[in-house]
Amino acid sequence: MANTPSVPVRVRFCPSPTGNPHVGLVRTALFNWAYARHTGGTMVFRIEDTDAARDSEESYDQLLDSMRWLGLDWDEGPAAYDGSSVEAVGPHAPYRQSQRMDLYKDVAEKLLAAGHAYHCYCSTEELDARRDAARAAGKPSGYDGHCRDLTADQKQAYEAEGRPAIVRFRMPDEAITFTDLVRGEITVLPENVPDYGIVRANGAPLYTLVNPVDDALMEITHVLRGEDLLSSTPRQIALYRALISLGFAKAIPAFGHLPYVMGEGNKKLSKRDPQASLNIYRERGFLPEGLLNYLSLLGWSFSADQDIFTIPELIEKFDVADVNANPARFDLKKAESINADHIRLLDPKAFAEACEPWLTAPHANWAPEDFDRAAWEAIAPHAQTRVTVLSDITANVDFLFLKTPVEDEASWTKAMGKGDPAALLTTARAKLEAADWSDPESLKNAVLAAGEEHGLKLGKAQAPVRVAVTGRTVGLPLFESLEILGKDKTLTRIDAALAKLTA
């Protein structure tokens, strides 16, 4: 277990606004956030929107909205966490890379002037041809350094030809070693990290430049990100050294690469996998704390014998030093079961409120005015232990709000298909009519007594009643349900079932 670092921790979450947020991205945001909160550090939220062709404002809005829904608050970022209408929060604004282009231009020029970078005039065709030849000869196939040391005359000749030039970073001819917070010491040999492009021929700066430059300028101390970015780390460390020599950076951050998240069939969970979309979890009614609890277990564990915990407990315990390097398996069933536990942990009032969006239009299949809050509040405590995700609530309580219960032929046949349900329902109706409707025990005794008259145990006797009244064979405790639905509606529905049975 690592001690709290001596320099105040500054972590960043820096997504590109492309597409919908996915669970892998949320896991990265969460680990950064938990580490910031655990250490009393700063969470920087930066938007990497330098790819105008792929970035969208809609995706940007979704990122902010998702972070707010999850409760992952940031201390610095492109907007206020609380939604108040400010442009940016924090001393390193702006936090959208599309608004920082002049900075990158300046850094690129200084890297060029100091010889840390150079213009590369090679065309794609030339690069491809040389790469193929190197491959055929069994040599390293990365950039071969062709333009590293061009003479002034050669450069002039290329310029005169009108060749476009990209800017390439000059990698040092030495091994780069760093200690990954998750994986331990990693050494990369120079032949495996060729000089790489940092600015396009059209002047557009690339991720390879803007990401470490912003990490440097924003004084990020810990870079916690997915394992897929591990290969860019040696390059970034080399660039950092150049940035330090030019006065743009103070220190090289620590890096920690979070393990891959595997999906079905032992394949990496892909952004395009429907299981990966954050919106699906939100629409199904995962609680933010349930989802975060589950996602925190993708590469980390709370303790050997406890996997349900609150967000404050997570913050108290989370340390990046405890992250496991092995790939983590995304397990939907486990996510659901953890969420169900968090639903049970809600206080009853919070549970009732959390469900309401699913009980009012447009989620429900009854009119908004048919939603009856008093009935809902009465039944909610009986439902709280029975839902895995909040959207499960509609099927459990729809009988309260629908004019007639759901039409479900399979359930009808199951409950009414044997014996003499009409006779049973007739007796039960008479006894229910005479029962005490302020006491579910009295309703139960009515059905129990009706069953006895027809030689049926309570379980068998209540099945036709349940289907007649709720449309389903399983559901919440029946007699509490009847009491809350009320005498008139209950008897009317039994009458309708009898009419159907005897038609």
Quick one: 79 or 482, whose CB is closer to ligand GLU? 79
Residues 273-302 that bind ligand GLU (CB under 6 A): none
- d(CA 298, CA 330) in angstroms, rounded, equals 7
CB-based contact 175:187 (threshold 8 Å): yes
The packing angle between helices 373-383 and 478-485, to 10°, is 170
- The answer to the question of residue 208 lying near ligand GLU (CB under 6 A) is no
- Identify what 214 binds: Zn ion, ligand GLU, none; CB under 5 to 8 Å per kind: none
- 117 beta partners: 169
Would you say 403 and 471 are in contact if contact means Cβ atoms under 8 Å apart? no
CB of 131 to ligand GLU, least distance (A): 25
Q: Could you give the C-alpha distances from 276 to 20, 264, 290, in angstroms and in order?
A: 10, 11, 16
Name the minimum Å distance from CB 228 to Zn ion: 27
Question: How many Cβ atoms are within 10 Å of 117's Cβ, its own excluded?
Answer: 26
Closer residue to ligand GLU in complex, CB, 16/296:
16
Return the number of the residue (229 or 244) whose C-beta is nearest ligand GLU: 229
Name which position in 9, 16, 158, 429 contacts ligand GLU (CB under 6 A): 16
Cβ contacts of 435 within 8 Å, gap of 6 or more: 442, 443, 445, 446
The reply to whether 489 belongs to the active site is no
- Interaction partner, residue 122 (ligand GLU, Zn ion, none; CB < 5-8 Å by kind): Zn ion
Count of residues that interact with ligand GLU, criterion CB under 6 A: 7
Interacting partner of 120 out of ligand GLU, Zn ion, none (Cβ under 5 to 8 A depending on kind): Zn ion
- Residue of 271, 414, 487, 489 marked catalytic: 271
Could you tell me which of 110, 206, 211, 115 has the C-alpha nearest to residue 166?
206
**15, 24, 263, 464: residue in contact with ligand GLU (rule CB under 6 A):** 15
268 binds, among ligand GLU, Zn ion, none (CB under 5 to 8 A by kind): none
Contacts to Zn ion by CB under 5 A: 120, 122, 146-147
Length of the chain: 503
Choice from 127, 229, 262, 422 touching ligand GLU (CB under 6 A): 229
CB atoms within 10 A of CB 11: 27
Any idea what DSSP says for residue 454?
T
Select the residue interacting with ligand GLU from 29, 43, 48, 104 (CB under 6 A).
Answer: 48
Q: Report the residue from 96, 170, 225, 282 that binds ligand GLU according to the rule CB under 6 A.
A: 225
Using the contact rule CB under 6 A, the part of the chain among 14-22, 62-70, 101-109, 476-484 near ligand GLU is 14-22
Pairing state between β 117-120 and 196-199: unpaired
What is the phi-psi region of residue 40: left when phi exceeds 0, alpha when psi lies from -120 to 50, beta otherwise? left
Q: Taking the chain, what is the end-to-end CA distance rounded to the nearest angstrom?
A: 73
Distances (CA, A) of 97 to 46, 47, 82, 112, 425: 8, 6, 22, 21, 70
Distance CA 416, CA 353 (A): 36
* C-beta closer to ligand GLU: residue 238 or 415: 238
Q: Which residues contact 338 (CB under 8 A, 6 or more apart)?
A: 290, 293, 294, 307, 308
Q: Token pair for residue 367?
A: 């009119």
Query: Could you give the string, one character per residue 328-367, with x where binding to ligand GLU holds by CB under 6 A and - elsewhere?
Result: ----------------------------------------
How far is Cα 363 from Cα 390, in angstroms, rounded to an integer? 12
> Among residues 14 and 379, whose Cβ is nearest to ligand GLU?
14
Stretch in the footprint of ligand GLU (CB under 6 A) among 10-18, 87-95, 101-109, 116-124: 10-18
Pick between residue 223 and residue 484 the one whose CB is nearest to ligand GLU.
223
Can residue 221 be called a binding residue for ligand GLU (CB under 6 A)?
Answer: no
Q: Which residues are catalytic?
A: 271
> What does the binding site for ligand GLU look like in residue numbers (CB under 6 A)?
14-16, 48, 211, 225, 229
